[in-house]
Amino acid sequence: MAVQEIPWTPEDHYNAFITICGEAPAGKTGRLAGVPVAVKDNISTQGIRTTCGSRILENYIPPYDAHVVTLLSNEGAAIVGKTNMDEFGMGTTTETSAYGPVLNPVDPTRVPGGSSGGSAAAVAAGMVPMALGTDTGGSIRCPAAFCGIVGLKPTYGRVSRFGLIAYANSLEQIGPMARTVRDVSHMMEVITSVHDPRDSTCRAQPYTHIPQSDIAGMRIGVPVECFGEGVDLRVAESVRSAIGVLEGLGAEILECSIPSMAYALAAYYVICTSEASSNLARFDGVRYGPDVDVKKVWHEAYRDVRMAGFGTEVRRRILLGTFALSAGYHGKYYTKAQVARQNVCRDFTRILSDVDVIAGPTMPTLPFRLGEKTDPLSMYFTDILTVPANLAGIPAISVPCGRVDGLPVGLQVMGRRFDEERVVDVAYAYEQEVQA
């Protein structure tokens, strides 16, 4: 299966990259021989700076490659740069990066989505044919929708997270981003091809699939909650039209309900901030980060390093997570959030026992303007349609389904755990039909 190879150009008009590695090396062999691939800057690359979009890791150079990077390199891919991102993956716009915001190639006055905004912009601008992103609550699918490309969040445990600098371990996954479903599928084959025992959550289940466009007889659930309050009517209309295309291809469309979506977003933010509070404790100027001032009292030195190194959004989420885990509040917040998560899992298990996949909008709005979302709560709300898949650990893909006023809209397709093949087929069927 050939992947389109394009000449690598280091010209970055959208601030998509934090680090550019230079010309793609020639003479490699493998399934991705000579193909330029961009890697999100929270995925470790041996000898190449990996910052997580943060000043606290400005000079960090990993001594090893992430498992997915090793697999890409073994297949001849050329890692040409590390892409810009929301700091430590915390954001929906790629505006929280310490290295400046990424611009959306579709409209440079708009955000590209986040947190994998640099990867999406690099693909959408034609700088690379494919890229790696990570998805904790929509961070692959959101920028894919906003930039008009394809992005897949795999099942939790299908892709090794070894070498991923952790934000929220129980939610995040590494996944492929590209301009076509076929290229995403091809990349997925490579990054699941060898099981990694270093990630205890990783399952030995390689993805070996050629996308099929025949979806006749497939049952597609459409949750009423995905078209409820807060969803732009123009987005809803585009997505319903896309679902109509799937129906025209022979799929059976069934309305369904996910009642737990009412509290999925709140549960997600309690869980992810709690895990972030724990994970980011290591960045203290002793283990990681700039050197601490040894002449100061330890807690003052620790405070000063983290105040200087972390941006506002990262500090906010650390504080929220620390509060949720603190004595007297753990049961009120973190434990209740985990109960809510189980309800989300049960809802998806119930629905996906009756239908093959679930379809709806990827994002509730069109890409917003740079600087438009200054209120954290309004920003968090934009994740409402993507976080349920992370809580449940199921695969989900975003595929472009038209434009409104020139701005892209994404169709999200979710499926059963370890059933990426079916999810990919639905996205591919739609893509092939509208491009015919």
pLDDT at site 298: 77
d(CA 391, CA 269): 11
**Residues 103, 143 within the same domain:** yes
Whether 32 maps to a domain, the answer reads yes
Residue given tokens 């691939």 in the structure block:
37
Task: Report d(CA 172, CA 162) in Å as an integer.
Answer: 12
Choose the final residue of a domain: 339, 371, 404. Answer: 339
Task: Using alpha carbons only, give the angle 120, 123, 124 rounded to the nearest 5 degrees.
Answer: 80
Which domain range does residue 331 map to?
261-339
Q: Tell me whether residue 228 is in a domain.
A: no
- With residue 361 as reference, give the H or E element that holds it: strand 357-361
Q: Cite the active site residues.
A: 40, 115, 139
pTM summary value: 0.96
Total number of domains in the chain:
2
Token pair of 199 as six digits: 């990630």
Q: Work out the average pLDDT over 277-289.
A: 88
Domain CATH number, residue 411 = 3.90.1300.10
Q: Which of 18-22, 151-155, 346-350 has the lowest mean pLDDT?
A: 18-22
CB contact at 8 A, 147 and 120:
yes
Tell me the pLDDT tens digit for each residue of 164-220: 999 999 999 999 999 999 999 999 999 999 999 999 999 999 999 999 999 999 999
Last residue of a domain, one of 272, 306, 339: 339
Give the C-alpha separation, 65 to 68, whole Å.
Answer: 8
pLDDT of 419: 98
Q: What is the mean pLDDT of residues 51-57?
A: 97
Final residue before a domain boundary, out of 281, 309, 339:
339
Structural domain contains residue 227:
no
Residues 406 and 373 both lie in one domain:
yes
For the chain, give the percent of residues with pLDDT over 70: 96
| The pLDDT value given to residue 6 | 46
Angle between helices 420-435 and 233-248 (to 10 degrees): 90
- DSSP three-state, residue 101: coil
